[in-house]
Copies of this chain bind each other. A is one copy, B any other.
Amino acid sequence: MAEIVVDNLTKVWSGSPAVDGISFTCASGEFTVLLGPSGCGKSTTLRLIAGLEQPSAGAIAIGGRDVTRRSPAERGIAMVFQSYALFPHLSVAENILFGLKVRRVPRAERDERLKRAAQTLGLTQLLDRKPAALSGGQRQRVALGRAIVADAAVCLMDEPLSNLDAQLRQEMRAEIRSLQRRLGMTMIYVTHDQVEAMTMSDRVVLMREGRIEQQGTPAELYDCPASGFAARFLGTPPMNLLPAAIGAGLLPGVPAAAGGSIGVRPERLRVGAPGRGLAASIEAIEYLGADTLLTLDAAGAKLIARTDGHARHRIGEVVGVSCAAGDLHFFDAGSGRRVEANGNGCNAPERGEGA
């Protein structure tokens, strides 16, 4: 229906490339998340796909048709802008209905869709307001509403939930996901929230400085990060990366000779009595409600371990840190790429399908 194929796409802004020869495919009806640090080219990629920027090189096909030179209107897309791009002179309702009016959707249907979207987004009370009289989150929801009502085959969203509170965000996540499924939309979704990336997407494209660092299912990225960068980018707190010499202490039988670094996720670390595993002292304790984060010092290397909410530790206490065999990741010293050491192959666990 509306597969998106991005082929060797490049966008250069006055000399420096914002997007640097990326290629990926987003199958029809699939939900792809673009992930990456600030300024890595996510929005630019999205704008290129939308046709709002002309690529410096490369091609884009939507639904099998090369649309590289087509106007945005011809691409059949809906979009949520990172900056919202609400029309300041139109009310919330008019903003949401803008595209439908332009496309001459009959009035009755328009009203119907508006009502549904407003309800979903909790905007029913605000339909007559101008954007200037809305809170930040409300504006963002209006922007979202505009994309939702469009029922387009392809939907592009640029951090559509960044200004919403956790609860609303969770609802919206579920809503967007189910809408996308129901309508069979092909979705490209930019977010900096890895929980969103993990829970919503079929596929994650991790970008770094205009290039693709790794792409795959969320579980693949989490369990088999292709590089130190990918390893640290997904997961909060991020994976601990230790010099191989030190990290080897976590588990008996790990060769420390190879150099490079060893990674282990905070939640995989077991903090117990001293003597077992790596000896470390507790430097800081951060209580997060559900968990407590321990910052540990092992021979000068810092580690973070996540433990239960009320784990009773004290600063300065000396503990032993260990982990299971499958929990270690090895990265090359120079390139930072993953090394499949000791036959420690990567097998992502099955991902339970959400409700």
Contact = CB atoms under 8 A, between A and B. Distances in A.
A39 B135 contact: yes
Interface in A131-190: 133-138, 141, 158-159, 162-170
Interface range, A side: 35 or more
Contacts of A306: 290
Interface stretch (A192-200, A256-264, A273-281, A332-340): A192-200
A234 interface: yes
A236 B45 CA distance: 31
B195 A353 contact: no
A320 interface: no
A80 to B, nearest CB: 12
A57 to B, nearest CB: 20
B135 A43 contact: yes
A197 to B, nearest CB: 10
Given A162-B163, A166-B192, A166-B194, A290 B235 contact: yes
A221 to B, nearest CB: 9
A137 B38 contact: yes
A176 to B, nearest CB: 15
Nearest to A267: B290
Interface in A68-82: 82
A136 B232 CA distance: 22
Contacts of A223: 289
Contacts of A13: 133
A44 B137 CA distance: 13
- Give the copy number: 2
A38 B159 contact: no
A213 interface: no
A90 interface: no
Given A167-B232, A289-B198, A138 B38 contact: yes
Contact of A159 (B141, B158, B163): B163
Contacts of A169: 192
A167 B236 CA distance: 8
Nearest to A265: B290
A349 B287 contact: yes
A169 B192 CA distance: 10
A284 interface: yes
Nearest to A192: B165
A292 interface: yes
A158 B135 CA distance: 11
Contacts of A38: 122, 135-138, 141, 163-165, 168
Counting chain B CB atoms within 10 Å of each CB, the highest count among A38, A170, A234 belongs to A38
A245 interface: no
10 contacts: A38-B136, A38-B163, A39-B138, A43-B136, A82-B163, A166-B192, A223-B289, A234-B289, A284-B355, A287-B352
- Interchain residue pairs A-B with the least CB separation, the first 10: A285-B352, A38-B137, A165-B192, A267-B290, A284-B355, A222-B289, A82-B136, A162-B162, A39-B135, A286-B354
